[in-house]
Structure 1
Amino acid sequence: MECLKNDSNVVIPKDTYKLAYIIHFLLGAGNLIPWNAFITAIDYFGHLYPDKHVERVFSVAYMSSTLLILTIMINWSNFGRFVSFQVRMNIGFTMFVLSLMVSPTIDWVCWPDKSTSAFYVVVASVVICGLADGLIGGSLIGSAGKLPKEYMQAVFAGTASSACLHGPKWLRNEVFVVFLTVILGFTNGYLTSVIMILVPKSVPPSEAEMAAVVMALFLALGLVSGSVLGWFWII
């Protein structure tokens, strides 16, 4: 379905039982679940490495590596032809699995130096996770950009849903914080989905994938900027 465009000259096949929509939704969720696994365990990592600014280091490492791979995909014009979509997705999810296995493995082998070497290994796993996110996210958004608009919405709906799988217990009594977070989710989710849908449809079909990847690049650039600005709280 990657080659389909919602043009008058193209007959779009029926999505039986919404299987294609569900697949894009699950791929979008799977793209962000590994990062959520790292960031929701920030108290755990803070306990292991109390002298490190774990949250800020993780954010900058992850977002920067994601931005790097998206930049490479854009500058290398033949990237999509040289590496197929299936290969990119399989490599990305393999990197996700490997990066998530690092922290449990370190605990299992009882690494003696949990303040230096082990921390750098964990940060390296976060970088690998970010590279995988850039590879999968750029490929998935680029592919969805060539499809009807509901599939781009499915990708971002899945991405948003990945953060709803589990939440800390202390949020149950923080009604005001939860309300603000919900409002942020609605506005950010809606606006992000709209712009990601409109841009690929505003260019020729041959440029739709690249336009979607460029939008993903600028989205990552904004996230990196926010992560870097977080350090000013410390400075």
Structure 2
Amino acid sequence: MVDGEKGLDDEPRDTYRVAYIVHFLLGAGSLVPWNSLITAVDYFGYLYPEKHVEKTFTVAYMSCSVLVLFVMMSCGFCTTRLSYRLRMNLGFAMFIASVMASPIIDWTWKKGERDENVSYILTVGSVVLCGLADGLVGGSLIGSAGKLPKQYMQAVFAGTASSGVIVSVLRITTKASLPQTPQGLRASAHFYFIVSSTILFCCFLCNNLLYKLPVMQHHNKLLFRDEPLCSTTRIWEVGKKIRWPASAITMIYTVTLSIFPGFIAENLKSRLLQSWYPIMLITVYNISDFVGKSLTALYLWQSIKNATWACVARLLFYPLFSACLRGPEWLRTEIPVVVLTFLLGLTNGYLTSVLMIMAPKSVPAAEAELAAILMVAFLGVGLVSGSVLGWVWLI
């Protein structure tokens, strides 16, 4: 530890904050594929009108992502078989392939010409590939950033929060720029996926640029001298210490993913906004989630206990959104739904940031990184649980 502190004292200067910016971009890039898939709800709804696209995508993506994350942890997070750089490059290559799969399938498998079920299965397969890449990139990125000075972890989370806003603005721009016809819808979606893939390719290049920066070369010398984080005994011990914030983060994403994006995109309708309605709601959620995650820079809730109770209180979203679906006529209008969606994203972003910041601080410094990785794993459990519970709305 003394060597590490001495190394940090001798750390080269991050000129123009390039390393920080690259970590921000990598954080954003890690969620661009997922946000690209869910924000194109109008496009997939047109291609597969009889399928529950958003709910199916959510279960397929989240399950595969969490599976990879737990495999990485069980095998030792700091694996020696695949370097961090190789894992990231492989993950972003898988991201690009999965995002481009949708327009390629559409180009070669035109609607109505062949069996729609086959093209749908291929599309879901691309979502599975995307989920596997997410587990690989997300787990590697957070594990690496956890060993670096705290500003790099902050950059990663700031990037993930911004990705939803970036993709939503991109989808609105591409959709509005072309005629509101089936042909215009497909063309706008294809352009949207191509731009998203270009962003991912830039992240791929940035990931390889990162290791040529003097500041990162300095940190990597310290990074690879460390012992692997994970053993079953140590995971269990740290897990017991953070059981309350871990349970809370699971509850946050169980509630959120059971409502967003599936319920919001498929179950709620608007005669006024029509196909724009789910896109608008997803954009409102992404903006409020970004605002919530940014608020911790102004005020950080210091009590894990109070934050946990706040997570329990979010269960109230279930009856409130149910009322928007089956309640009085005035509750089934756009304004109450938009307000509830904003609050869903705001509380999700803020409480996630509070728990992810406070949980590692509740354990000794030597266990802080493992605590952060375990929090991500429990977050993933919430994602899968919520995506499965989202099907209950069909009852």
Normalised by the size of structure 1, how large is the TM-score?
0.85
Match of 1:29 in 2: 28
Q: Distance in 2 between matches of 1:12 and 1:151?
A: 17
Superposed CA offset, 1:35-55 (max 9, x none):
111111112111111111111
Match of 1:59 in 2: 58
Q: Distance in 2 between matches of 1:96 and 1:118?
A: 19
Aligned partners of 2:142 and 2:153 also within 8 Å: yes
RMSD over equivalenced CA pairs, Å: 2.7
Match of 1:70 in 2: 69
Superposed CA offset, 1:81-103 (max 9, x none):
22110000000000001101211
Distance 1:76 1:179, change over 3 A: same
Alignment of 1:132 onto 2:130: no
Alignment of 1:151 onto 2:152: yes
Superposed CA offset, 1:4-42 (max 9, x none):
96x588426233222121111100000011111111111
User: Which runs of 5 or more structure 1 residues have no equivalent in the other structure?
Assistant: none
Alignment of 1:225 onto 2:226: no
Aligned partners of 2:59 and 2:387 also within 8 Å: yes
Which one is further off, 25-34 or 184-193?
184-193
Aligned partners of 1:39 and 1:55 also within 8 Å: yes
Alignment of 1:11 onto 2:9: yes
Match of 1:215 in 2: 375
Q: Distance in 1 between matches of 2:89 and 2:134?
A: 12
Q: Distance in 2 between matches of 1:78 and 1:21?
A: 23
Aligned partners of 1:70 and 1:213 also within 8 Å: no
Match of 1:96 in 2: 95
Aligned partners of 1:152 and 1:193 also within 8 Å: no
Which residue identity is paired with 1:157? Answer: A
Which residue identity is paired with 2:134? Answer: D
Give 4+ residue runs of structure 1 displaced > 6 Å after superposition. Answer: none
Which has more radius of gyration?
A: 2
Match of 1:195 in 2: 355
Q: Distance in 1 between matches of 2:140 and 2:153?
A: 12
Match of 1:40 in 2: 39
What's the % identity of the aligned pairs?
57
Q: State the secondary structure of the residue aligned to 1:77.
A: coil
Distance 1:63 1:78, change over 3 A: closer
Q: Distance in 1 between matches of 2:61 and 2:131?
A: 4
| Shift of residue 189, structure 1, vs aligned partner | 3.0
Q: State the secondary structure of the residue aligned to 2:80.
A: helix
Which residue identity is paired with 2:34? Answer: W
Give matches, 1:78-93, under 5 Å.
Answer: 80-93=79-92
Q: Which has the higher relative contact order, 1 or 2, with Cα contacts under 8 A spaced 6 or more apart? A: 1
Distance 1:198 1:139, change over 3 A: farther
Q: State the secondary structure of the residue aligned to 1:83.
A: coil
